[in-house]
Structure 1
């Protein structure tokens, strides 16, 4: 005897019910259209996009700090030292969020410096991998390391221009990814739902 509930669970992954396919397709279309719009906005208005990112980042930090402070008071199983640590960390994170909101463009410069430092460290690791021979071919490690270090230094020297370039590149990539999503949507089912 076959249980109707388990019969759908063991179906092949490609054999979605027509209603499920329609919902999935609708979600993909919505996400792709939103991605296209955001990508175009990022390319046309990079300064406003950066300001929005900085403001959202500041709000996120404030919310995260509040969460940690609340957790310090209400979380079960935390010792006194962990409660103090969580509360103080939350307070520091909240202050960082307030500072980000008070001067959003300055927080973007800090973000650019952090990205630059990460790229420099990544470049050093790639260069070491090329020298030691852990990256094959070796020249790839050297090229990757040099490019990463150069990009990191550029972010230190021109942080505002570097962040603007990242927004523009991100906008272009968002448009490309969204367009390919629209072009590769699952086909509509011919059967009635």
Structure 2
């Protein structure tokens, strides 16, 4: 899941700090507010989904490893993205999502031979809680561009979590198709969000590869 990226780029003459970032914290914040960072998060979600759908007959062990790696990488993206927020509540929610994804990824990789039910429970809970927190940050964030897209991504995560938790998965093949489908849908949602943020930067008069105006 992808969350809000801080305030919207302001219209009018862009005010961008020249030169390199003043410190590591500023560099991380600048990276988190870049539309390409959202694009990278979308790719991390989309690629595993496509791989799972293309090879649905792989073993549960392979599925658990792929899902575990996806959760770890997604957690890393979300941790950096948390620095794009200015409000302490929004930043805390972002860090909480990152920690949740990393823990879920560790659980998947620690015991890749776990049961189908356990894998469904881990992924379903991660998506459900992440979707709820994303929905919260989308509503709480001020001056959020394309708020509707962020809300849709949050709702999609909630629905994905509920479906994975509620529907019985009697075989690894059923679980594989289900997880692959939701990964693709979530990845496409984040892809739309990345290009929406790029459009907001262009509309504000900033180059599309700019991270946004300095505060």
| TM-score bracket for the superposition, by shorter chain length | 0.3 to 0.5
Report which structure shows greater RCO (CA 8 Å, sep ≥6).
2
Q: Which has the higher helix share?
A: 1
TM-score computed with the length of structure 2 as normaliser: 0.34
Higher-Rg member (1/2): 1
